[in-house]
Amino acid sequence: MLKVRVIPTLLWKNPGLVKGVRFDSWRRVGTILPAVKVYNARDVDELIVVDISANQEGRSADAQWVSGFAPFCFVPLTVGGGITGADQIAGLLRAGADKVSIGTAAYDDARLIEEAARRFGSQCVVVSIDVTRRSGEPLCVARSGKETTSRDPLAWAREVVERGGGEILLTSVDRDGTMEGYDLDLIREVSAAVAVPVIASGGAGNYRHMVEAVQAGASAVAAASMFHFTEQTPAEAKKALAAAGIPVRRNAAVEV
C-alpha cells in the first residue's frame, strides 16, 4: 500500500482564506501566505489551494497570485479554481503549482482532461468531483456547488480516468464543513471503481474519521475545518493513522 497523505485544503475568496459549511456560510480564517508557512512546519504531505470565487467571476485562478505564495510552499501544491483551458494550466504550473485541480470546465468539455494530460502528464491533473445526495441518489455538482448536474459520480469518475485524470479529489458537499465524518459509502464506491488515487474530502472532524476514510479506500485525506477550528494537527493525524496500521510518511513527530 502506498503511503497515505494528509492534505490541508485552503479556500481563497478575495481577499483572504475562508471556510464554510456545505459550500456556503463562509467564515474568514486568515490570509494565505501565513497559512502556507504554518503548514510547511506541520508535517503535511501536500497542500490544496482553491480560488472558490474564480468560477463565479468567470476567470481562472490568477497565476500572479500563485507566484506570490508558491515559493514559500515546500510541499507539493495543487491549485484550482475556474480553470477552463490548457494555457491557464501552463501559467499556473509556471507560477509554482505542481498540480492543478479541474472541476466545472470538465463537465462542460471533458476533452480538457485529455489535453491537460497530454501536455503536462496525468500526474499533475487532479479532477475535482463534488457530490450531493440532496435529491436521494448521489449526483455531481458544478460551479462551487451552485449547479447540480445529472452525472452519476461513479460513471464520471471512470470517464475522468479514461480521459487521463491522474487523481480524484472527491468531496461530499453535504458533509463539507460539518466535521461529522466523510461520506464513507461514496469513498468506497468511487475508490473501487477507479485505479487512480482518491483524495477524500468533506466532513473530517477527528482523526478517527481519517482512519475510516482510508479503510474505505481513500489514498489521501483532505481537511480544512478540522485544522482551522480545532487543536488537531496534521502531525497528530499521521500518528493516529500510523497507530491504525496505515502507512504514512514518517518523521520524528509521527513515530509510534
State the CATH number of the domain containing residue 169: 3.20.20.70
What is the structure's pLDDT at 251? 67
The count of C-alpha atoms lying within 13 angstroms of the C-alpha of 206, restricted to the half-sphere facing its C-beta, is 2
Say what the pLDDT of residue 101 is.
98
Residue 161 placed within a domain: yes
Position 55, amino acid: N
Judge whether 178 lies within some domain: yes
Residue 256 lies in a domain: no
| CB distance 194 to 158 below 8 Å | yes
> Hey, is 71 helix, strand or coil?
helix
Residue 255, domain member (yes or no): no
Range of 106's domain?
A: 5-245
Q: How many CB atoms lie within 10 A of CB 160?
A: 24
For the chain, 256 residues long, give each residue's pLDDT as a single digit of tens: 689 999 999 998 877 888 878 766 577 767 999 999 999 988 899 999 999 888 778 888 899 999 999 999 999 999 999 999 999 999 999 999 999 999 999 999 999 999 999 999 999 999 999 999 988 899 999 987 789 999 999 999 999 999 999 999 999 999 999 999 999 999 999 999 999 999 999 999 999 999 999 999 999 999 999 998 899 999 999 999 999 999 999 765 555 4
254, part of any domain: no
Residue 77 lies in a domain: yes
Residues 136, 137, 138: CA angle, nearest 5 degrees: 115
Reported pTM: 0.94
Does some domain include residue 253?
no
**Contact predicate 253/225, CB 8 Å:** no
Per the structure, the count of domains in the chain is 1
Enter the C-alpha cell of residue 133.
Answer: 445526495
**Helix intervals (H) in 143-245:** 153-162, 184-193, 207-215, 225-229, 234-243
| Pairing verdict, β 16-21 and 5-13 | antiparallel
Q: Hunting for cell 462542460 — which residue is that?
A: 108
C-alpha cell at 157: 469518475
Q: Which of 89, 91, 97, 151 is nearest to 117 (CA)?
A: 89
